[in-house]
Structure 1
Amino acid sequence: MAWNEPGNNGGQDKDPWGNNNRGGRDQGPPDLDEVFGKLSRKLSGLFGGKGPSFGGSGAAGLGAIAVVGLVIWGVSGFYTIGEAERGVVLRFGEYERIVQPGLNWKPNFIDEVRTVNVEAIRSLRGSGQMLTKDENMVNVEMDVQYRVANPEKYLFSVTNADDSLRQATDSALRAVIGDAEMDEILTTGRQQIRERTQVEINRIIDRYDMGLLVVDVNFDAARPPEQVKDAFDDAIAAREDEERFIREAEAYRNDILPKATGRAERLKKEALGYKEKIVNEAEGDVAQFDKLLPEYEAAPEVTRNRLYLETMEQVYGNTSKVLIDSQEGGGNLLYLPLDKLMSQSSQPRSTEDTTASDYGIELESTQTVAPSNSNSRQSTSRQGRY
């Protein structure tokens, strides 16, 4: 039976506080001095009998408990901040300071520390079906990479900085897409759209002071709706072919133009050289004529003969065949092939007798036509065979 049930002798002898209750006399809770005395004896036992003895004093017991609690409280206040983290200290719920990486201490129940990773690159994807400037629908996907730049603003400037950035990305992307045409989004304007979206996101972040820094914005994909996808694919293929043809034409132009320019420059230089040559020769002929004119005026016949002889010398000096006019006799013309004579002169003959036929000399007779006037001189026509 329980101690408090009737008929239990043990219940008559003891009460819940461990006091004897003989004779029906009720004794109340134990004295506080006795409780602290027992606690002091237990603490002394824990320290091997060498610990402090409170000797039954209530104030001394409270002091010991306070000292032990203070030691535990002080030790529990040490904490460590990681290398990539920053600690935001709150004192009674209000921002106090930023704690750098390393071992730190805080007073428990007074300060609270929230750690924020400021070096990790976070990723946020934004996508949706959006309306373009030319009233077409396009499916756009974009990836935003960012990190925390200011832990205090990241935690307290807005309710949820990550969610706020998601909404800012969607708003900026819709604003940029709504100001661009469909062809620009799908083909040539992707880089410009990416840059404009990043600028717009940074503007929203600065306005709301989110404490974030956008590292990069990637424009992943832009597709037309499935209903018109085939037509847009054909249009894109045609544009790609156009760009390819343009590049090939530019390459051909870059190959042909330098060659044509070089040939033109060469022809110009050759023409200038020919011009200078002709002009110099003409000036030389004029100077020679100026020198020859006084001589011709002094002795015309002698000058003409000298000029004739010099001209014949130049003409026959460039040919290997010579014609000899006998002037007297039966009107025969001698033909001397000097090239054959020179080649045969290098080979010795067995006999010293040579004839005109041995040297390839050909004699051709011509008829003499008598003039009607017997007093005039006979004219003879002579012709050489080449």
Structure 2
Amino acid sequence: MGKNEPGESPGKKAGGRTGSEDTPDNPWRAAGHSPRIDRQELLRRLVQNGRGRPRRRWKPPVGTSWTPWGLAALALVWLGGTSLHPIGAREQGIVATFGADGRTLAPGLGVTWPWPIETVRVEDVGAVRHMAMPEGEGEQVMLTRDAALVDVGYDVRWRVRDLRRFVGQVDDPAQTLRLAADTAMRSTLAGLDFAQAMGSAHGDLTQEAARRLQGLLDSYGTGIGVDGIDLRHAQPPARVADAWRDVTTARQQADTEIAQARSWASQMAAHAQGEADAFDKVYAEYRLAPEVTRRRMYYETMERVLGQSDKVILGSQGAAGPVVLPPLPLAPPQPPQPRPGATGEGR
């Protein structure tokens, strides 16, 4: 053991391993072989040198269970979610204590008892809402005063005026509003003629219907305020549309003829007024000089009459009677006409 074998490197142990085979530059270390590391020793040295600290597992301060902390978190969520109620600038909240409606909450952050002791219903009382009548594409046929049928479509503009009544007085405010609007429009249209309902009284129709609708809603205590009614159309039903077009055409023709007759009457009245004014002027002159005016009127009348006559009548003082001259042959002679029954040549 005192000497090395021939060809054996110094420091090489039996079995072909040396004491420094774990060093990185050991030529006898097999490829891919990692040096052996004592992890516990390394950790101990790091702790002693202050370069690292061992991690400790955190435990809840009360016992070793998470149940109390989970229940506390759920309780906080329940209290915050059912006791704090943010109310918008145009909103109001109605508080129900065990189902019975009570106070209202103003805009801001409202605080109530948690559910199920108190519940809050929030409504937008500042928004103007619209309800179409009829709903969808259907017809809403109503009867006028002269027993004519009219298809009426309109929109109702409304808002919540009293939240406590709106929530607690009626079960279905929207359905109540729809039925009341139909009643108000039918009663208003029953007081108008067909022509008025078709266009000549649309403004009066919507105003009167809105007034009656508000009266019905107030009598029911719904807490709904009506801002107005906008009329979309008022037209004959589809099944009588063709007949209505014929009636409309006839009415337009009648209106045209009436307008022409009135125009002719105005012209005749103006002409008659002109003649009356001329007569008044002549009469004023006649009163100033009756004989002269009488003779002038006689001459003008004879000139107008004889100017259109084909006979000339001459008269003189002392003559036995007037002399009537035959008319002058002013018209060109006409060729002779063949007698009826005449035939051609040779007869």
* TM-score using structure 1 length: 0.45
TM-score (normalizing by structure 2): 0.50
Indicate the structure whose relative CO is greater, using CA pairs within 8 Å and at least 6 residues apart.
2
* Larger proportion of helix: 1
Rg larger in structure:
1
